[in-house]
Amino acid sequence: MGPKISGKGQQSHRMVILAAIFVLMTLLILYGSNNVTDDVYAPFHVATNHALMTTDLKKWAGREGYVPVSGNKNMSLHCHDCALVTSSSHVLGTGAGEEIDRSECVIRMNDAPTMGFESDVGNHTTLRVVAHSSVFRVVRRPNEFLQRTDSNPVIIFWGPPNKIGKEAKGTLYRLIQRVSTTYSNLSCFSVTPSKMRRFDNLFHRETGRDRSKSHSWLSTGWFTMVIAIEMCDNIKVYGMVPPNYCLKKPGSKKMPYHYYKPRGPDECLTYLQNESGRRGNHHRFITEKQVFARWAKQYNITFTHPKW
């Protein structure tokens, strides 16, 4: 008897294959649509199990991570109370300016201005954390950002080593260097290449995701929060929404992403679109905030406007 299948057997064989394909397709569709909702609601969900390693950021900190752009200053900022002022339009109308200015140290990001917004964001700046992509915008307005009368304000520049590193010797690095030598009251530092790698590793450990393999870019908010934890005993964050804020209120009213760009993009839209972005590199604003929420329990961090 050869391996000959009768007509009837062949037909039922075909039926089985068709049924299997049908079941597979159904599963794929179900799984696929699950993924789609995931993409919208929690695409980059941080695992809450203990497989994630937690890092003691106080021990993780180190001065060697920041090198002076010129001269031989040390990054030795330490403050008991810090106000971390976000760039979100949630700060508008809060009247928090005076309270912010009463903090021992005030931390700001990129080119977020104080002029014209003093009553809500205050007018002191102790530290400004500036992304490589914001350097030009900061340098373009020296009397707002560089000629400060605050005693010895600090600027920390972060970016890929091939852009802001000493070895790069590119336009951006030369510009930062010129700023640092021109404005002697400023202390300018850049994040070292090894510290940049540590920021990536930290993201991996805290989210379970490899930054570059998951096509993610760290935000200035990520760098700023970590640096604040390194240097402050207590941190009060102004204008940062909780991680699930944009998921819970899909139809909530439009809030500009930046307080100084009233006609700019909507904050929640920017967060949600970045969070679910797969092609190209994206900021994981919501994932980062999930980590911040965990850090808030571990370190002394409180959030106001909105309070959470």
Ligand X SMILES: *[C@@H]1O[C@H](CO)[C@@H](O)[C@H](O)[C@H]1NC(C)=O
Largest CA distance in the chain: 98
The torsion angles phi and psi of 155, rounded to 5 degrees, stand at -120, 130
CB of 48 or CB of 149, closer to ligand X: 149
Give the residue, chosen from 70, 119, 177, 214, that forms a contact with ligand X under the rule CB under 6 A. Answer: 119
- Residue 16 CB, shortest distance to ligand X, in Å, is 45
Give the contact letters, 147-166, x = binds to ligand X (CB under 6 A), - = no: x-x-x---------------
Residue 285: HSE in the Cβ half-sphere, 13 Å Cα cutoff: 22
State the Cα–Cα distance between residues 290 and 306, nearest whole angstrom.
16
Q: How many residues bind ligand X (CB under 6 A)?
A: 24
- Residue 28 CB, shortest distance to ligand X, in Å, is 27
28 contact partners, CB below 8 Å, separation of at least 6 = none
Using CB under 6 A, which residues numbered 71 to 90 contact ligand X? 72-74, 81
Q: Does 98 bind ligand X (CB under 6 A)?
A: yes
CB of 244 or CB of 270, closer to ligand X: 270
Provide the angle, in degrees to the nearest 10, between the axes of the packed helices 220-231 and 285-298: 10
State the Cα–Cα distance between residues 44 and 73, nearest whole angstrom.
39
Q: Does 143 bind ligand X (CB under 6 A)?
A: no
* β-strands 79-85, 232-238 pairing: parallel
CB of 49 or CB of 143, closer to ligand X: 143
Closest CA to 292 of 213, 208, 246, 224: 224
Give the residue, chosen from 39, 118, 144, 200, that forms a contact with ligand X under the rule CB under 6 A. Answer: 118
CB of 13 or CB of 63, closer to ligand X: 63
Q: Does 97 bind ligand X (CB under 6 A)?
A: yes
* β-strands 216-217, 154-158 pairing: unpaired
- Residue 301 CB, shortest distance to ligand X, in Å, is 8
Using CB under 6 A, which residues numbered 39 to 78 contact ligand X? 72-74
Q: Map tokens 């000629």 to a residue.
A: 147
CB of 70 or CB of 119, closer to ligand X: 119
- Residue 189 CB, shortest distance to ligand X, in Å, is 12
The stretch near ligand X (CB under 6 A) out of 12-20, 135-143, 173-181, 232-240 is 232-240
Structure tokens at 68: 């002076």
CB of 204 or CB of 283, closer to ligand X: 283
157 contact partners, CB below 8 Å, separation of at least 6 = 69, 130, 131, 132, 135, 164, 176, 188, 189, 190, 191
Q: How far is CA 134 from CA 103, 126, 129, in A?
A: 26, 18, 10
- Residue 49 CB, shortest distance to ligand X, in Å, is 28
Q: Which residues pair with 130 in a beta bridge?
A: 157
Give the contact letters, 174-213, x = binds to ligand X (CB under 6 A), - = no: -----------x----------------------------
- Residue 68 CB, shortest distance to ligand X, in Å, is 9
Using CB under 6 A, which residues numbered 266 to 295 contact ligand X? 270, 273-274, 277, 283
Is residue 307 within 8 Å of residue 284, measured between CB atoms? no
The residue ranges that bind ligand X (CB under 6 A) are: 72-74, 81, 97-98, 101, 118-119, 122-123, 147, 149, 151, 185, 233-234, 236, 270, 273-274, 277, 283, 300
